[in-house]
Amino acid sequence: SYELTQPPSVSVSPGQTARITCSGDALPRKYAYWYQQKSGQAPVLVIYEDSKRPSGIPERFSGSSSGTMATLTISGAQVEDEADYYCYSTDNSGNHSGNHRVFGRGTKLTVL
């Protein structure tokens, strides 16, 4: 089955730039989306269609995609950005129809 691969953890100091990668064979053809999940809370979308930022998401969050890799960048990471981040995409691999979805395994971002 189709997989999205993320590093388990990323650690930065406050004010530094954090980059979280997501690799997947279909990413050249499929958009990547990014969710932030803080402890005990439901996920929140921070990037859609590779690089677009939903309203209300701080400008320090940005996204990019090239080839089989998508990247979430947090420029000037803040302590409040400490969370788990998941990449997400659609899955049309094998006999999966258009309603299939897939999450990466998540990356724990530590800011301290």
Partner 1 sequence: DVQLVESGGGLVQPGRSLRLSCAASGFTFDDYAMHWVRQAPGKGLEWVSGISWNSGSIGYADSVKGRFTISRDNAKNSLYLQMNSLRAEDTALYYCAKEAPSPYPYFDYWGQGTLVTVSS
Near partner 1 by CB under 8 A: residue from 20, 36, 50, 88: 88
Q: Return the range that interacts with partner 1 (CB under 8 A); candidates 9-17, 21-29, 67-75, 98-106.
A: 98-106
User: Closest approach of Cβ 106 to partner 1, in Å?
Assistant: 4
User: What are the Cα distances from residue 88, in Å, to 13, 25, 111?
Assistant: 26, 13, 23
Near partner 1 by CB under 8 A: residue from 69, 75, 103, 110: 103
Near partner 1 by CB under 8 A: residue from 53, 64, 100, 110: 100
